[in-house]
Amino acid sequence: MSNQNNSFLQDLIRRAKSVRNVLFGATLLSGIVTITGVYVAISGHIAEGTTISKVGIMSTVELTKRVKDENDRLDQALKDAMEENQRRTLPPS
């Protein structure tokens, strides 16, 4: 049973890391969209550049929140795994 529990925790940690990496990449991409919008606005197409920048900023804010949430979930999963490991290795008092 403990091996199955350990396998479940390892899978949970792996999935949390994968989601965090995907969200981090998407956040970088939305940052690039924001910078592109600023460049377009500076180039003389103010309306289009402003719209692109707004979309990029909104995406960056939302994705940053999601990255933080995923980091919190990963931290909690790691904490739970360490507590479970300590319970199994410590003798009963």
Helices (H), the chain: 2-42, 46-89
Percent of the chain beyond pLDDT 90? 0
Contact of 67 with 24, CB cutoff 8 Å = yes
**Residue 1 pLDDT:** 46
**Residue 91 pLDDT:** 66
Contact of 4 with 79, CB cutoff 8 Å = no
- In this structure, the number of other CB atoms found within 10 A of the CB of residue 34 comes to 19
Task: Please state, rounded to an integer, the average pLDDT across all residues of the chain.
Answer: 81
Contacts of 20 (CB under 8 A, 6+ apart): 67, 70, 71, 74
